[in-house]
A and B are shown apart, each in its own frame.
Chain A
């Protein structure tokens, strides 16, 4: 305790340091270990995720833009991207020597490649086209001895099988041009001449020779025109001037006779624009809007095959062990637009052919719209038919109703005339009696010794006047009873009212009824049927007279007046009768409504029908002074 007491701080500290040292060492080591482990783990993970990129060279034959190889290259790259599980480093190299003739510049190119890939060896070389394949085969033992080689997009026959090593494999195409020609001749049996478009590069010369050999069986059947010694301009001219029954076989145009290279689609497009014959080919990379079509090599399929073989080689398989059969033409494809242009029926195409670029028919394009429109039209047509039918039925019904009304009105007029017959007979007998009197007077005067001729003259004048009077009565009656169809004419309502009053005056006198009228000054011109309107007034006045007679005492009066009111003509017929019960004011116009013992109840109904047919209005009221009043409004006649 003393020791501790004398030197407490220092000793205690010492102790702590000495005991702490081994612990600190241990901790430090642990941290280092952990960090290292972590780092190692991290590195390992990293290398596993990324790994070394697989180095692939695609060796082109002509140029990056020459069809069909350019399309193969594109398809291969796409497929590799899709199928490969590794990071890929794909490089393109171009063997331009295939395009030019003359001294072979391969030496420096080999050197260049050697230098380029000396440090990092390649994992795979893919050649596209025959020139590239042959180039690699030529230098197999010097430059790329250890690298696997995949020869793609090459005709089987152009590979030197003997020169193939165990590191080589080939994914060949079998372009059987004879098949393509046979197919072409089946579609266009009348073909006499075929222009074969081919360029003038060394490689194309070889192609031409090969094709000539291949097409030997067609000799005599068709004439072939080769274009290898034409410049492109000459080629266009000649394509525009092909004789009838010609066809074009677009074989290969890389370099023309003028030494101009043709990349991309431009050449074919320009050619198509002027060519006066359908164009065929063997490879669907040309198959755009220009070719008619036929059996062709499928670039997409070829690219896929090459890519999958490449992936297998990159995955470790030995190239020499992979045997891939050459690919034949795929299902024939045709261009609908060109078929239309050359008038080729689809029946003539090989069975199972695919037809592309078909412009959809209106039906395919607007099926639902067409269906909907058709449905609407059908519906509309049905409705229109229905409406027309209805309209016709309504017309019939209207005509029928008009006829019935007319008949009824006629019957009503007859009935009224029957009622009036007594007064009409009276009216007629009056002038007849006068005439007879005058005739007999005249006879007596003439028999006298000295006849008074002046008297005779007066008598004749009176006879004439009475005759006219009788005629007028008959005429009025006939007019009332005539059954002529209604024809609108301009009539003066004042006249019409006056005429009815003339007809009824005798009856009124007999029944001791005062008939009076207050007519509007001038002419009240309305358009309508005189007889029918007369009948309306007649019915109203006769009704008024009947109701007046019914009253026991007091005035017996029927007053008719006409006036202009708000641009229409109004007739008012008032009587001093008992009036109409206020709840029946509307009912009186209904058919078969009657207050008379022997009435048919049609008079006012007919009156209303007539007035409404004239575009007018009829209504009844009771007068404050007693009695009923009927109003008829009729539109004034237009003009004048």
Chain B
């Protein structure tokens, strides 16, 4: 199960929430303020989420949300508030909050929200992991291979590519073979897909 980071200045709520989540099998870390959390920024790659009180002294909930975004942390945030007002909740959701709950929160609703947040972030993280892998494959290409990869993705013929790069068709074929190997693909279709996901296609073609 995931790790839950609770940020709340209210000791009694913080303790009781921590106790509940522990009983439900979560690992729990508590913080009295947003600053405390920032000091020991948790690893966002582990399945986890933040339970954040909107009204805390010092850095407020929404402000912490902004700071985490700046720091590139992908930790999902579930907001808790004693008194939910519409503007604050809208702003929080827009800024990427996973959920916005009003105290007192029934256990099931709380766990649902945590689970949803963790799951969603998990999916997001998997996707980004794939991309990162692809990026790694792409970065292993030599500059010549990269040029060939780009042009293949653009749907150009070997002959045409050879002409553009001022080499023979056979050389191009060899490079193309190398690219397929490095990207661990077997068809040109897969190659085009990768180029698209990494946004290589969107970039204006360099001649």
A residues at B contact (CB < 8 Å):
422-423, 425-438, 440-441, 444-445, 455, 459, 462, 465-466, 469, 506, 509-510, 512
Contact = CB atoms under 8 A, between A and B. Distances in A.
A441 B82 contact: no
Nearest to B55: A510
A426 to B, nearest CB: 3
Contact of B23 (A444, A465, A509, A510): A444
Which among A432, A440, A509 has the highest number of chain B CB atoms within 10 Å?
Answer: A440
A437 B85 contact: no
B83 A459 contact: no
Nearest to A463: B16
Contacts of A438: 16, 19-20
Contacts of A462: 12, 15-16
B102 to A, nearest CB: 7
A433 B55 contact: no
B55 A437 contact: no
B78 to A, nearest CB: 14
B106 A436 contact: yes
B137 interface: no
A512 B81 CA distance: 16
A429 B104 contact: yes
Contacts of A509: 9, 55-57
A433 B15 contact: no
Contacts of B106: 436, 440
B103 interface: yes
Contact of A422 (B23, B83, B104): B83
Nearest to B56: A509
B27 interface: no
Nearest to A459: B19
B83 A429 contact: yes
Contacts of B24: 444
**What are the nearest 9 A-B pairs in CB distance?**
A426-B82, A433-B103, A437-B16, A433-B104, A436-B104, A429-B82, A425-B83, A440-B107, A441-B20
Contacts, number: 86
Given A422-B85, A436-B105, A455-B19, 20 more contacts: A422-B83, A426-B81, A428-B82, A433-B17, A433-B103, A433-B104, A434-B16, A434-B17, A436-B106, A437-B104, A438-B19, A440-B20, A440-B106, A441-B16, A441-B19, A459-B16, A465-B12, A506-B82, A509-B55, A510-B55
Contacts of A430: 10, 12-13, 82, 103
A425 B104 CA distance: 11
A466 B103 contact: no
B148 to A, nearest CB: 58
A131 B107 CA distance: 150
A437 B19 contact: yes
A327 to B, nearest CB: 124
Nearest to A510: B55
Contacts of B105: 433, 436
A434 B16 CA distance: 6
B103 A432 contact: yes
Contacts of B20: 437-438, 440-441, 444
Interface in B76-117: 80-83, 85, 102-107
A425 to B, nearest CB: 4
B53 to A, nearest CB: 9
A50 B55 CA distance: 139
Which among B9, B17, B60, B104 has the highest number of chain A CB atoms within 10 Å?
Answer: B104
Contact of B55 (A426, A444, A455, A466): A426
A444 to B, nearest CB: 5
A434 to B, nearest CB: 4
Contacts of B102: 429
A292 to B, nearest CB: 109
Given A509-B57, A510-B55, A429 B16 contact: no
Nearest to A507: B55
B104 A435 contact: yes
A435 to B, nearest CB: 7
Contacts of A432: 103-104
6 contacts: A422-B83, A431-B13, A436-B106, A441-B19, A445-B23, A459-B16
Which among A422, A430, A466, A510 has the highest number of chain B CB atoms within 10 Å?
Answer: A430
